[in-house]
């Protein structure tokens, strides 16, 4: 049975083992990553205090994207999420392209995060070879993902809890320094640090805008909550709640934390390659501050890798169900997890551990820029699918969702324009431009793959009819 507003989620064979508590923390954790804990240092050096505005602006666009996704999820909650919506509203090729591109995004992210996690452990135990640590993390998270979705959800819950606690602690301590003037930073901590050193935009508006590509990388994975739709206990309640709390999460954890840090420590003291949180703890004089932040960043890296294993397995299964990947990826294990898809994805992540052993450090920058480009494509597909879905609702062809996006498709158009602008910034920047070349090669490879697939199985290119009644 279906209500007039909500299309019932199809049974995909997964265990609906993610409760509200876990979905909420997955959503929170997706908005807090290594991009904030480490990447913000380089961006502060480029933009000064104006970085706060860039995070707020990008956060608003991310909210538009997530509300668009939320409307689609409550129209038809499926584990394939945006790949399925691309297939439905733009055609089979776009579903194929989006599914494989999202898989690529998480595989390359997993490669980087595993090696990064090994480097963080090396901080405490320099005698242990980095490849050993990376391999241990790979195996542990792999086994956890195979056991059940509940284990994945519980691990992600506690990873997110560590990140949230660290950020709240930093904000509270920073406010204490500003209010009561205690610690070594008490004499220089002041709100006027936001504008006293060459103004709020010390290097110009153009330089601030160029940080948007790095800022958008920090927000990658917020869409992961959409992949959990097929395994949430009650998606009609948990998903809207998770999405609606996004604004305060961004306001508190990004805008709030950065504002406090830049009030406590003047922006000229930050440098690329150094976490702003490590710097702030050092200036305040907190014992073992660097070690605390190192643990938090390690948690963020492992959280990202854990999410990557989860989402790649589900996306491969969606592709297999549509005849766009080998059929064996559609099988579920006895614990109702896509074990084969997870295994193959983890194998590719493992190759990344070996590759990062011999590739120069600059490879990490390339990997993150490729992940950002793949993420922008995913977000664009969500927004365009939403615009087309709204047209279907307005014409009476499709059911209305119980969670409509504010402003209808207007906010989606704004977000599309913004993402295209960021893509232009990436093309303008010589260092990050390489990711567009990689994506062009990836697109060519997928186009060839699609041509071969159509030749072998012409039915794969036929638009699939959704089991929906017309309204009106």
Query: What is the tens place of the pLDDT at every residue in 400-443?
Result: 999 999 988 999 999 999 999 999 998 998 878 888 888 999 99
CB 279 within 8 A of CB 265: yes
Q: Residue 6: pLDDT above 50?
A: no
Residue 31: what pLDDT? 64
Residue 1: what pLDDT? 34
How large is the average pLDDT for residues 75-97? 86
- Give the residue from 253, 251, 257 showing the smallest Cα distance to 175: 257
Q: How far is CA 6 from the centre of its chain?
A: 26
Between 178 and 153, residue with greater pLDDT: 178
Distance CA 387, CA 408 (A): 8
Distance CA 168, CA 171 (A): 5
Of the CA atoms within 13 Å of residue 370, those in its CB half-sphere come to 26
pLDDT digits (tens, 9 = 90+) for 151-171: 888 888 888 888 888 888 888
pLDDT digits (tens, 9 = 90+) for 90-120: 999 999 999 999 999 888 888 878 877 887 8
Alpha helices in 181-274 (DSSP H): 204-209, 212-218, 224-227, 235-244, 246-249, 257-264
Give residues with Cβ within 8 angstroms of 287, minimum separation 6: none
- Give the residue from 2, 3, 1, 6 showing the smallest Cα distance to 402: 6
Q: Residue-wise over 100-111: b if at least 16 C-beta within 10 A, else e?
A: bbbbbbbbbbbb
Confidence grade of residue 242 (pLDDT, cut at 50, 70, 90): confident
Residue 331: what pLDDT? 86
């Amino acid at each position: 049975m279906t209500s007039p507003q909500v299309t019932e989620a199809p049974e995909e064979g997964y265990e609906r083992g993610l409760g509200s508590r876990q979905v909420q923390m997955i959503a929170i954790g997706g908005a807090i990553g290594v991009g904030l804990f480490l990447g913000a240092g380089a961006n502060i050096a480029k933009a000064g205090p104006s970085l706060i505005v860039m995070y707020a602006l990008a956060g608003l666009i991310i909210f538009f994207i997530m509300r668009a996704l939320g409307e689609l999820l409550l129209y038809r909650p499926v584990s394939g999420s945006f790949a399925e919506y691309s297939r439905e509203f733009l055609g089979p090729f776009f579903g194929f392209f989006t599914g494989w591109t999202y898989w690529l995004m998480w595989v390359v992210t997993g490669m980087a995060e595993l090696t990064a996690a090994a480097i963080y452990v090396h901080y405490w135990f320099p005698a242990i070879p980095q490849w050993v640590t990376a391999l241990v993390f790979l195996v542990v998270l792999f086994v956890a993902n195979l056991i059940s979705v509940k284990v994945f959800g519980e691990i992600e819950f506690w990873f997110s809890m560590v990140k949230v606690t660290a950020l709240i602690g930093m904000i509270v301590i920073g406010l204490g320094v500003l209010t009561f003037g205690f610690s070594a930073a008490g004499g220089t901590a002041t709100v006027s640090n936001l504008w006293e050193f060459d103004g709020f935009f010390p290097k110009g508006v153009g330089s601030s805008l160029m940080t948007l590509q790095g800022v958008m990388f920090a927000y990658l994975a917020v869409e992961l909550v959409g992949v959990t739709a097929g395994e949430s206990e009650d998606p009609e309640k948990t998903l809207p709640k998770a999405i609606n709390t996004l604004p305060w999460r961004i306001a508190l954890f990004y805008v709030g934390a950065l504002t406090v840090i830049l009030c406590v420590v003047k922006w000229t003291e930050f440098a690329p390659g150094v976490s702003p949180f490590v710097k702030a703890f050092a200036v305040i004089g907190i014992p073992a501050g660097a070690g605390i932040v190192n643990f938090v960043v390690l948690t963020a890296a492992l959280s990202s890798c854990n999410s990557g294993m989860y989402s790649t397995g589900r996306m491969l299964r969606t592709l297999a169900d549509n005849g766009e990947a080998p059929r064996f990826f559609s099988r579920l294990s006895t614990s109702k997890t896509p074990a084969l898809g997870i295994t193959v994805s983890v194998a590719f992540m493992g190759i990344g551990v070996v590759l990062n052993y011999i590739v120069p450090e600059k490879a990490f920058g390339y990997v993150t820029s490729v992940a950002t480009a793949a993420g922008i494509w995913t977000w664009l597909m969500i927004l365009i699918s939403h615009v087309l879905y709204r047209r279907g609702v307005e014409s009476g062809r499709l059911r209305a969702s119980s969670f409509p996006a504010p402003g209808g498709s207007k906010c989606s158009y704004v977000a599309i324009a913004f993402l295209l602008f960021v893509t232009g910034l990436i093309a303008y920047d010589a260092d990050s431009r390489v990711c567009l070349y990689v994506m062009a090669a990836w697109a060519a490879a997928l186009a060839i793959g699609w041509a071969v697939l159509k030749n072998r199985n012409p039915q794969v290119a036929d638009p699939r009819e959704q089991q929906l009644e017309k309204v009106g």
